[in-house]
Amino acid sequence: MGAFLPNHNDPIISILLLLGTIFVVSVLSYGYSIWKQERRQKELLGFIQSFDSSECALDTQSMEFEPSMKKPLFLLAVAYERSGEYSKAINLYLYLLKYTSDSSLLRHLAKSYQKAGFLQRAVDIYIEILSMTPRDKESLYRLEFIYEHLREFKRANEILEVLEAQGEDIGRLKEHLMLQNITKSHMQNDEKITKLVELINSSSSSWAPLRELFRVDAKLAWRHFSNKDYKKLVDILWKLESWQIDLDIIKEHREVSKMYYAKGYLAEDFLQKTADESSEFFAIDLIADARDSGNRLAEATFKYSCLKCKSSSPLSFFRCPNCHSVYSFNIEVLVEQKREKSSYSLQ
């Protein structure tokens, strides 16, 4: 302190000098923060300009902005977003960003672009958000999802590493990404099968790569089948052709035996004593009972629902199309009347 202040003996002068220094530093610091904020707003406006496009259907060009309009316009934009009118929502978010420079609106804008299918624009905005707040988990998860959708698996994996460094549990996502990398990349069938088997042996959700293996090499897939995976594979197993089933393995699994009896692939004597027991799926029991009484017109169909958000789909999914959660689907088996009469019995 002695070297910093002038050499004199009056303590009042010293205190005044110290206070003066603190004041000057505070003013400079305040000025710097104002300058930084203004620069950030200018950058944001510059960034927004590139998104101001003709796809947006709502005319905001002639609309004069008043600060009191911010909340109602924001609520209107959210309503448009929820009702699927993304171009109108995008236009309003852009308008609000232009006049308020409120960067919290960027996430809404990115989400709307993502839902509207403008994935690259959504990527640009999420990267902009992350340049301001690098630890924004929601933006990281959404960016990872888009990279996965664009089949940019390396980038998606880099995002997962960032999330993992933040303590996020990304085990399932990582396994899912590895599976997507195998199934969506262009590789020879032999290499694909080898990688699927590796993933089955190392994955905590082995049923997921096993579903894919049943699609490409059912005979090999049966060797990795275990009863615990039956509920996640019932649709794939039901849809196999009779020549794709492995009788030696099936006879070890009562549930699967009953399913193939219901399907018409197995004769009653193959089931032995266990056939009367009920199985995991009531619909399959019904079809088997109908077969017992001579009715062979019942067919199984499948409905997929998400255990997390409860949305349902007629198509199977590894990632919920609504909430994007991984491996959260549940299979429901339904009964319908067969359209064509056919017999698959091996007898």
Contacting positions for Zn ion (CB under 5 A): 306, 308-309, 320, 322-323
Contact predicate 291/264, CB 8 Å: yes
**Residues 125 and 110 sit within 8 Å (Cβ to Cβ):** yes
Q: Which two tokens stand for residue 128?
A: 């902009």
Helix axes 207-216, 189-202, angle to 10 degrees: 160
Three-state SS annotation for 277-303:
CCCCCHHHHHHHHHHHCCCCCEEEEEE
CA-based max dimension of the chain = 113
Q: Is 304 helix (H, G, I), strand (E, B) or coil?
A: strand
In the complex, the smallest distance separating the C-beta of residue 330 from Zn ion, rounded to whole angstroms, is 11
Nearer to Zn ion, 227 or 312 (CB): 312
* Dihedral sign computed on CA atoms, order 302, 306, 312, 313: negative
Nearer to Zn ion, 169 or 269 (CB): 169
| Residue 283 or 320 with smaller CB distance to Zn ion | 320
Determine the Cα–Cα distance for residues 97 and 118; give it in Å rounded to an integer.
19
What is the spatial distance between Cα 69 and Cα 75, in angstroms, rounded to a whole number? 10
Q: How far is the CB of 240 from Zn ion (least distance, A)?
A: 28
Identify which of residues 155 and 308 has a Cβ nearer to Zn ion in the complex: 308
Closest distance to Zn ion from the beta carbon of 344 (Å): 35
CB of 308 vs Zn ion, minimal distance in Å? 5
Nearer to Zn ion, 253 or 308 (CB): 308
> 31 vs 321, which CB is nearer to Zn ion?
321
Give the up-direction half-sphere exposure of residue 254: CA atoms within 13 A in the CB hemisphere: 11
CB of 176 vs Zn ion, minimal distance in Å: 14
Vertex 63: Cα angle to 62 and 68 (nearest 5): 165
Nearer to Zn ion, 195 or 324 (CB): 324
> In a 10 Å sphere around its CB, with 0-12 CB exposed, 13-18 middle and 19+ buried, how is residue 322 labelled?
middle
Q: How far is the CB of 322 from Zn ion (least distance, A)?
A: 5
Q: Which is nearer to Zn ion, 14 or 313 (CB)?
A: 313
CB of 318 to Zn ion, least distance (A): 12
- 109 vs 306 by CB, closer to Zn ion: 306
Question: The tokens 């505070």 sit on which residue?
Answer: 26
**Least CB distance from residue 327 to Zn ion, whole Å?**
11
Q: How far is CA 160 from CA 31, 42, 106, 129, 232, in A?
A: 38, 31, 22, 17, 26
| Sign, CA torsion 155/157/158/164 | positive
In whole angstroms, how close is the CB of 181 to Zn ion at the nearest point?
A: 23
